[in-house]
Amino acid sequence: MSTIEIRDLTKKFGTFVAVKDANLSVAAGEIVCLLGPSGCGKTTTLRTIAGLERATAGDVVIAGQRVNNLPPEKRDIAMVFQFYALYPALSVGQNIAMPLHREAVGSREVAARVRKVADILHLRDILDRLPGQISEGEKQRAAVARAIVRDPKCFLFDEPLSRLDVELRHSMRGQIKAVLSNLTKATVIVTHDQLEALTMADRIAIMRDGLIEQVGSPHEVFAKPANVFVASFIGTPQMNLIDAQFKSYGNGKAKVVFDEQDVDLSVHPAVANLKPGRVTVGIRPRAFTVVPEDTRDTIDAMAELIEPMGAETLIHARTRTGSDIRVVVPRNKRVKIGESLHLVPDPAQTHVFADDGKAVRT
Amino acid sequence: MTDRVSFRERIGFRRVGGVAEAGWGRTLAVALVSFIYFLPVLFIIFTAIKPQALALSVPPTLSPTSFFGLIPDHFVFTPTLDNFASVFSRVMTAGGQPESTGFDRFFFNSIVIASASVLLALVIGTLAAYGFSRYPLKGNDTYLFIILTTRMLPAIVVIIPVILMFRAAGLSGSYLGIIMLYTAFNLAFTVWMMKSFFDELSTDVEDAARIDGSSEIKVFFKICLPQVIAGLAATFVFGLILTWNEFLFALLLTGPDTRTVPVAMNQAVSSGGRGTDWTLLAAIETLFLVPVFLTTFFLQDHLLRGVTFGTVRK
Q: Specify whether the CB–CB gap between B131 and B220 falls below 8 A.
A: no
**Can you give the three-state secondary structure of A28-83, one letter per residue?**
CCCEEEEECCCCCCHHHHHHHHHCCCCCCEEEEEECCEECCCCCHHHCCEEEECCC
Residues of A in contact with B227 (CB under 8 A): 88-89
Q: Specify whether the CB–CB gap between B260 and B106 falls below 8 A.
A: yes
Element (H, E) at B234: helix B229-245
* Nearest in space to B193 (alpha carbons), one of B302, B304, B309: B309
Residues of A in contact with B204 (CB under 8 A): 81-83, 85
Q: Give B76's strand partners.
A: B63
Q: How far apart are CA A77 and CA B208, in angstroms?
A: 11
In three-state secondary structure terms, A274 is coil
Residue B13 reports pLDDT greater than 70? no
Give the Cβ contact number of residue B268 at 10 Å.
Answer: 19
Distance from the Cα of B19 to chain A's closest Cα (Å) equals 23
The domain limits of chain A are 4-233, 240-353
Distance from the Cα of A80 to chain B's closest Cα (Å) equals 8
Q: How far apart are CA A342 and CA A324, in angstroms?
A: 14
List the single best residue of B198, B212, B302, B313 to mutate versus A (max A Cβ within 10 A).
B212
Same domain, B210 and B152: yes
Residue B19, in any domain of the structure: no
Domain that holds residue B110: 103-306
B3 touches chain A (CB under 8 A): no
Q: How far apart are CA B212 and CA B216, in angstroms?
A: 12
> Are B211 and A77 in contact (CB < 8 Å)?
yes
Per-residue pLDDT tens digits for B22-70: 788 889 999 999 999 999 999 899 888 888 777 777 777 777 777 777 7
> What is the pLDDT confidence band of residue B95, given thresholds at 50, 70 and 90?
low
Residue B66, in any domain of the structure: yes
* Nearest in space to B85 (alpha carbons), one of B280, B246, B245, B243: B280
Residue B310 reports pLDDT greater than 60? no
Helix ranges restricted to H, A186-319 = 194-200, 218-223, 228-233
Distance from the Cα of B211 to chain A's closest Cα (Å) equals 5
Q: How far apart are CA A285 and CA A288, in angstroms?
A: 7
Same domain, B181 and B66: no
Q: Specify whether the CB–CB gap between A176 and A197 falls below 8 A.
A: no
Same domain, B129 and B200: yes
Q: How far apart are CA B20 and CA A219, in angstroms?
A: 58
Residues of B in contact with A48 (CB under 8 A): none
Which residue from A71, A85, A89 is facing B227, i.e. has the nearest CB? A89
Q: Considering only alpha carbons, which residue of chain B is nearest residue A134? A: B314
Helix ranges restricted to H, chain A = 42-50, 92-97, 107-120, 136-148, 166-181, 194-200, 218-223, 228-233
> Are A73 and B207 in contact (CB < 8 Å)?
no
Q: What is the pLDDT of residue A128?
A: 93
Q: Considering only alpha carbons, which residue of chain A is nearest residue B205? A: A85
Same domain, B215 and B259: yes
Which residue from B205, B210, B211 is facing A87, i.e. has the nearest CB? B205
Q: Specify whether the CB–CB gap between A283 and A242 falls below 8 A.
A: yes
> Are B227 and A132 in contact (CB < 8 Å)?
no
Which residue from B213, B227, B314 is facing A99, i.e. has the nearest CB? B213
Q: How far apart are CA A291 and CA A299, in angstroms?
A: 10
Residues of B in contact with A89 (CB under 8 A): 223, 226-227
Q: How far apart are CA A260 and CA B177, in angstroms?
A: 91
Residue A136 reports pLDDT greater than 90? no
> What is the pLDDT confidence band of residue B312, given thresholds at 50, 70 and 90?
very low
In chain A, what is the straight-line distance between the N-terminal and C-terminal CA atoms, in Å? 35
The whole-number average pLDDT for the span A183-199 is 91
Distance from the Cα of A294 to chain B's closest Cα (Å) equals 59
B209 touches chain A (CB under 8 A): yes
B208 touches chain A (CB under 8 A): yes
Q: Give the CATH superfamily of A240-353.
A: Nucleic acid-binding proteins (2.40.50.140)
Give the Å distances, CA to CA, from B155 to A139, B11, B64, B121, B151.
Answer: 50, 38, 41, 18, 8
B202 touches chain A (CB under 8 A): yes
Q: Specify whether the CB–CB gap between B48 and B83 falls below 8 A.
A: yes
**Angle subtended by helix axes B24-48 and B278-298, to nearest 10:** 130
Give the Å distances, CA to CA, from A245 to A113, A253, A275, A321, A348.
Answer: 63, 14, 11, 15, 20
Residue B91, in any domain of the structure: no
Per-residue pLDDT tens digits for B124-140: 999 999 999 999 999 99
> Are B211 and A50 in contact (CB < 8 Å)?
yes
Q: How far apart are CA B204 and CA A84, in angstroms?
A: 8
CATH code for the domain of B272: 1.10.3720.10
Interface contacts A/B by beta carbons within 8 Å? 62
Which residue from A73, A132, A146 is facing B314, i.e. has the nearest CB? A132
> What is the pLDDT confidence band of residue B4, given thresholds at 50, 70 and 90?
low
In three-state secondary structure terms, B214 is coil
Q: How far apart are CA A239 and CA B72, in angstroms?
A: 93
Distance from the Cα of B226 to chain A's closest Cα (Å) equals 6
Distance from the Cα of B107 to chain A's closest Cα (Å) equals 37
Residues of A in contact with B222 (CB under 8 A): 87
Same domain, B175 and B57: no
Same domain, B49 and B173: no
Same domain, B125 and B271: yes
Q: What is the pLDDT of residue B10?
A: 55
Distance from the Cα of A151 to chain B's closest Cα (Å) equals 12
> Are B211 and A146 in contact (CB < 8 Å)?
no
What DSSP character marks residue A239?
P
Give the Cβ contact number of residue A52 at 10 Å.
Answer: 22
The whole-number average pLDDT for the span A306-334 is 89
List the single best residue of A53, A79, A153 to mutate versus B (max B Cβ within 10 A).
A79
Per-residue pLDDT tens digits for A69-119: 999 988 999 999 988 899 988 899 999 999 998 887 888 999 999 999 998
Q: Specify whether the CB–CB gap between A294 and A280 falls below 8 A.
A: no
Same domain, B112 and B76: no
> What is the pLDDT confidence band of residue B91, given thresholds at 50, 70 and 90?
low
Per-residue pLDDT tens digits for B206-244: 999 999 888 889 899 988 999 898 899 999 999 999 999
What DSSP character marks residue B4?
P
Q: Considering only alpha carbons, which residue of chain A is nearest residue B227? A: A89
Q: What is the pLDDT of residue B314?
A: 41
* Nearest in space to A42 (alpha carbons), one of A210, A175, A172: A210
> Are A85 and B314 in contact (CB < 8 Å)?
no
Write phi, then psi, for B112 (nearest 5 degrees): -65, -50
- CATH code of the domain occupying A4-233: 3.40.50.300
Per-residue pLDDT tens digits for A1-44: 689 999 999 999 989 999 999 999 999 999 999 999 988 999 99
Q: What is the pLDDT of residue A293?
A: 85
Same domain, B76 and B112: no
Residues in A lying within 8 Å of B, measured between beta carbons = 47, 50-52, 71-73, 75, 77-79, 81-83, 85-89, 98-99, 101-102, 132, 146
Q: Specify whether the CB–CB gap between A227 and A221 falls below 8 A.
A: no
Look at chain B and report how many structural domains it folds into: 2
> Are B211 and A86 in contact (CB < 8 Å)?
no
Same domain, B109 and B191: yes
Same domain, B114 and B259: yes
> Are A72 and B314 in contact (CB < 8 Å)?
no
Q: Considering only alpha carbons, which residue of chain B is nearest residue A132? A: B314
Element (H, E) at B263: helix B261-269
Same domain, B69 and B110: no
Give the Å distances, CA to CA, from A147 to A184, A196, A357, B34.
Answer: 14, 19, 40, 54
Give the Cβ contact number of residue B202 at 10 Å.
Answer: 17
Q: How far apart are CA B115 and CA A303, in angstroms?
A: 80
B311 touches chain A (CB under 8 A): no
Element (H, E) at A283: strand A277-283
